[in-house]
Each structure stands twice: as structure tokens, then as C-alpha cells.
Structure 1
């Protein structure tokens, strides 16, 4: 590398190479690595933007923060963490179905935690949003709607009144929200018993920061339903989340 530079570079560079050959070789090596890596970095940035809006801005700054956070993420699909909790179920365990397809691929970045495939049709996207907010309307005595504190860019369902337990208090009463811009998955907070059921039956997984000071361990991402049959199950999960977060058996 030094020989190549001395034969092609102007006099000033030749002098630099002569005085600091190891430094020049090191800098050249770093530059080569960056040049090779740039396409990968560009693809990673595009993948971040493709995930849509979330807590971080959809720009270089948000991407950089998401990349820095990534090593601190926890695994999302084990359920042993819930065994130490004694909790009720709002889902109705005996007849809760298993999701009949592989889990969707998740985006590498978080935030935002999003699906990278198995995106529902445009018609189904409308049905998902309608279903979510209809549950809020039907249970107006228990819940309200406001901007999401967790992600700031989506409308969220909240507990109406004081949070009834630690999980609700930690997330400031936010029951959940739909990611109504790209994948139409949703984040919901469920009882530990129902979290285990949802994960083991293939309907969702934890947020990588669940179980930290940032989010309660009961915070799950629920995969976007792709047809009416899956939507009916997700509707059931939303109602279970409302029941747990409001500590009510009166959800309709």
C-alpha cells in the first residue's frame, strides 16, 4: 500500500508516507473497510426508514440512536420470565388458538419494533384500525384515547382513572396502540399469564426493552392480522389487554 501511494501521490503525500508509513497504511485500511461497508450501511439505514414512524425521528439521527440501542435489546420470545408472576387470564386459555403460520420477520432496529414482512392488505389495515378504536368506543367508561406517550406518533388507548397495578403505572396507563403507517402490528400490555399464552401460541413477542425501567415485562408486540379469522383473535387479545390494564371483567 505504501509503495502504491509513493508512486502515484504528489510530493506532499510522498513525504507523509516516508515519515509515517504505519499511520498511512492504517488510515488506508480504515478507509477501505468503510468503502466496502458503505453499501451495507446504506441498506441498514433504508431498512430503518422502511419501518415507519416511532419514538425516534426517521432520519440519520434516529437511525444512529437505534443502532446504538440495538446491543441492549433482550430476547423476545421466551416465557419463563412470566412463571414467577401469579396472575389471572383475560383470554380464556382452553380455547385460545395457535397461529397457523411462521412468525413474521422482525426489523433489526428498535425502536421502532416492527414487522418486516407478512404485512396485511390495504382493506385489512382499515379493518384493524376500525376494530381497535371500536373497542375503545364500546368501553368508553373504562378507557380513553390520546396520543401515545410510548411512540408519540400514534393514537393510543389509555386507562380511564388511576392505574390499578404496577404495569399500568410504569407505562403511564397506556394500554396499547396500532402502528397505523406501515405494518399495522400493535403494542399491547397483557397480564403475565396472557403474555405467556400469546407468545407460546405464536401471536406476538415482547418488546426488546420489556422488563427494564423503560417498559414493563408485560408489553408485547402483537403481529398484524392478515384475514378476518386472525383479526377475530387479535380483537380478543385487545379486549384482554383492556381487561387487564383496567382490572375489569366488564369489557365488551
Structure 2
């Protein structure tokens, strides 16, 4: 949970819109987060093409927390996680690698301005590409 420097509500809504427009994605309730979170769920026929460690629960590659938090949990490829952590865009999820969760779950901080929004939206699209077997950035 993000405790301070919370993203404005419109940034949260815009991130939800970005995720909803990704191929094969529907919005729903997270299988691992609070009910007020919004999960990004990938259709099974597309999810089968993704990496095995790209999901928190079947089809759920990311979710955005409630309006009072607006951070995201998402699964990312290891090489991207290293860059995210080095740039202080997020941190390793405490359950990563435990309780049946893959080790590559991160908490990504909610964006507070347009530059941060672009970065977080890009990370969401990378998480989607990883989950759908799409091309990842170099």
C-alpha cells in the first residue's frame, strides 16, 4: 500500500482506461486485493501465450488499488524490474516468491503528474505484453 504522495483520482481513472484498451483485457475484481481495487484480466486464450510468472491469479497480470492509494501491483519481466527498482518507481511486493506467488510481482507507485503517468502507463503495457506473449522492450 502506498502511504503518501498519492496519485490524483483522475490519474487512477486514466490508468484504468489505458489498461481497459489493451488487447484481450477486461476489468474486474482482483483475486488478491481489496474489493475497491480494479484488476486487469487477460482472456484465457491470450494468457496461455504469456510467461508462466506473468500472473498473480489466473488471468490477472496487474491491478490498481483503491482511490485512496492508487498504486498498482503488476508482474513484470526480471530485466524490467531491475530498472524499476533502480529508478525508485516501485518496490518488490512482500509476497513475491511466497505463498505460491511468482517472484516478479512489484508495487508500482501511483503517478502524480504527466511524466509519471507516462512511465506507469508504459509499465502497465509491458506487464500486458509479458502476460500475452507480446514483444517486450529491449
Q: Say which structure, 1 or 2, has more relative contact order (CA 8 Å, 6+ apart).
A: 2
Contact 1:128/1:231 (8 A) holds in 2: no
Contact 1:167/1:216 (8 A) holds in 2: yes
* More strand per residue: 2
CA distance in 2, matches of 1:217, 1:185: 19
Contact 1:129/1:178 (8 A) holds in 2: no
| Unaligned 5+ runs, structure 2 | none
* More helix per residue: 1
User: What is the CA-CA distance between 1:152 and the residue it aligns to?
Assistant: 4.4
* Alignment equivalent of 2:18, drawn from 130, 134, 142: 134
Q: 1:220 to 1:212 in 2, by over 3 A?
A: same
User: What is the CA-CA distance between 1:118 and the residue it aligns to?
Assistant: 1.3
User: What is the CA-CA distance between 1:169 and the residue it aligns to?
Assistant: 5.5
Q: 1:170 to 1:225 in 2, by over 3 A?
A: closer
1:150 matched to 2:35? The reply is no
* Alignment equivalent of 2:51, drawn from 165, 182, 200: 165
User: What is the CA-CA distance between 1:196 and the residue it aligns to?
Assistant: 1.1
Q: 1:170 to 1:227 in 2, by over 3 A?
A: closer
CA distance in 2, matches of 1:230, 1:134: 14
| Unaligned 5+ runs, structure 1 | 1-113
Instruction: Provide the secondary structure at the position in 1 that maps to 2:122.
Output: helix
1:182 matched to 2:68? The reply is yes
1:210 matched to 2:96? The reply is yes
CA distance in 2, matches of 1:135, 1:208: 24
- Could you tell me which residue of structure 2 aligns to residue 249 of structure 1? 135
CA distance in 1, matches of 2:96, 2:114: 29
Name the TM-score, length of structure 1 as normaliser. 0.48
Name the TM-score, length of structure 2 as normaliser. 0.84
CA RMSD of the aligned region, Å? 1.9
CA distance in 1, matches of 2:64, 2:38: 8
- Could you tell me which residue of structure 2 aligns to residue 30 of structure 1? none
